[in-house]
Amino acid sequence: MKTKLKTLLISAALSAGLATGAAQAQERVFFGIATGGTGGTYYPLGGMLAQVISNNAELEGKKLSATAETGNASVANAGLLSRGAIESAFVAADVLDAAYNGKNQFKNKPIKNLRALGALYPETVQLVAQPGINKFSDLKGRTVSSGSPGSGQWQLLGDLLAVHGMDRDDIKEDYSSFSQSAEKIKDGNLDASLITAGSPTASIVELSNGHAVSLVPLVGEPVEKLLEKQPYYAATTLPAGTYKGIDKDVQTLAVRAVWATHADLSDDIAYAVTKALYENTDTLAKVHVKGKEISIEKALESVSIPLHPGAERYYREKGIIK
C-alpha cells in the first residue's frame, strides 16, 4: 500500500509540474494593432507587423502575441487609444497632433494620454476620379467621397475645398470607405474619392485594373496655401505606372503615418514592440512597397506628441536620441 501510495503521490506531483510548465509555456500577453479598412495600406502592413511582433518581440517570462484589427483609420483609432480599448494603432501625423492638442476634429477635446512608438511611412493623398475629371475645380457639382464624417480625409477634403474657393455645398458628399468608393466609381455611382494611403493602394489597384480612372493632381497656389497651414503635409510625386493607365507622374501630397499607443502601456511592452518593428523592417518590405520606407533613421519624423518611455529607451540605446 505504501508503495502504491508513493507511486500515486509521485504521479500527482509530476502531473502538477507538467501542468504548471504547460501553463507557463502558454502564458501570453496580447497586443492589438488598430489599422484601417482592407482596401488601404494600414491593414496588410498591420497584419505583417503583428506577425513580426509575435515572432520576434522578447518579453521576459511571457509570450507576446500580436493581432491586427480592421478599423476606421486615424480619427477612430485615436479614439480607441483614448479609451484604452486597444494597445496600439496607426494614425496619420496630422490627426495625431490634432488629437493630442485638441484641434480640428478634436477641438477642445484633447487626448493627452496618447504616446508615440514611432513613425512609419508617407501616406499619399490620391484623388481618384472618373475619366474626364482632371483638375480639382472639376469636382464642382460632382459626387465625391471623403470617408467617414470627422475623419482625417473628411477634414482634408474640407481644407482642399476651402483653398480652392469652394465648400461642401459645392459637391455631393459621399462617406464611403476605400473599397466601397472603388466599387461605386466602377459602377458609375461616384465621380471621385479622396484616398489617403500608402501607394499603391489595394482598392485603387483593383479599380484601375478593370476601369479607366483619372488621378487628379494636387498642385498650384491653392495647395501651397494649404501647405502653409498644414505642416504635416508635404508635396510628393506619384510615379507614372503606379496604377494601370496612369502613364504620367502625378503631383500630390503626402502625410506620414505614425504608430501610436497610450500612456498606460507598460514600458517593457512598448520597448519590445518598437524594437521588433525597427529590427525587422526587411520583412515588412516583402508585404508592401511602403514597408521599404520604414526605417529607424526616420522613426521620429513628424512625431509631435510625447514618445512612450519604452520606445524612448530603445531609441536612446540606438543613438537616435542622445
pLDDT digits (tens, 9 = 90+) for 55-108: 999 898 899 999 999 988 899 999 999 999 999 999 999 999 999 999 988 999
**Is residue 21, in this structure, part of any structural domain at all?**
no
**Is residue 234, in this structure, part of any structural domain at all?**
yes
Mean pLDDT of 199-217: 95
**Is residue 5, in this structure, part of any structural domain at all?**
no
Residues 139 and 110 in one domain: no
Q: List residues bridging with 254 in a β-sheet.
A: 124, 234
Q: Which domain holds residue 156?
A: 124-255
Residues 67 and 157 in one domain: no
**Is residue 18, in this structure, part of any structural domain at all?**
no
**Is residue 72, in this structure, part of any structural domain at all?**
yes
| Residue 80, all three cell numbers | 480607441
H helix intervals, the chain: 2-26, 42-56, 73-82, 93-101, 152-163, 178-187, 202-210, 221-229, 267-278, 281-285, 309-317
Residues 205 and 271 in one domain: no
Residues 249 and 265 in one domain: no
**Is residue 12, in this structure, part of any structural domain at all?**
no
Residue 309 class from Cβ within 10 Å (0-12 exposed, 13-18 middle, 19+ buried)? middle
Residues 216 and 265 in one domain: no
Residues 61 and 35 in one domain: yes
The pLDDT tens digits for 209-228 are: 999 999 999 999 999 999 99
Rounded to whole angstroms, how far apart are CA atoms 91 and 303? 11
Residues 93 and 128 in one domain: no
Rounded to whole angstroms, how far apart are CA atoms 311 and 270? 6
Last residue of a domain, one of 255, 280, 295: 255
pLDDT value of position 20: 43
Q: What is the CA radius of gyration of the chain?
A: 23
Chain-centroid distance, C-alpha 248? 27
Q: State which amino acid sits at residue 302.
A: S
CATH code (residue 195):
3.40.190.10
Residues 136 and 114 in one domain: no
Per the structure, the count of domains in the chain is: 2
Give the model's confidence band at 25: pLDDT under 50 very low, under 70 low, under 90 confident, else very high.
Answer: low
**Is residue 11, in this structure, part of any structural domain at all?**
no
